Amino acid sequence: MPSAEPMPRWLAPALIVLLAMLGGFAGLWAGRVWLGEPPMIAGDDDHLPRELQLNDLSGVAQRLSELRGQPLLINFWATWCSPCIKELPMLQTLHQRRDQGGLPVLLIAQEDDPALVAAFLSEHSISLPSWIDPPSQGDASRQLGNRHGVLPFSLLLDSQGRVIKRRAGAFSESLLLQWAEDAHSAQ
Closest CA to 147 of 47, 34, 2: 34
Tens digits of per-residue pLDDT, 153-182?
999 999 888 889 999 999 999 999 999 999
Tens digits of per-residue pLDDT, 9-63?
887 777 787 777 776 666 665 555 555 544 443 333 455 555 688 999 999 999 9
What is the rounded CA–CA span in Å between residue 156 and residue 25?
31
| Contact in structure between 149 and 141 (CB atoms under 8 Å) | yes
Could you list the beta-strand ranges (E) of 36-181.
Answer: 53-56, 61-63, 72-77, 105-109, 130-132, 153-157, 163-168
pTM of the entire predicted model:
0.74
Would you list the domain boundaries of the chain?
9-37, 53-185
Q: Which residue has the higher pLDDT, 98 or 168?
A: 168
Whether the bond into 114 is cis, omega within 30 of 0: no
Q: What is 53-185's CATH number, 3.40.50.720, 2.115.10.20, 3.40.50.300, 3.40.30.10? A: 3.40.30.10
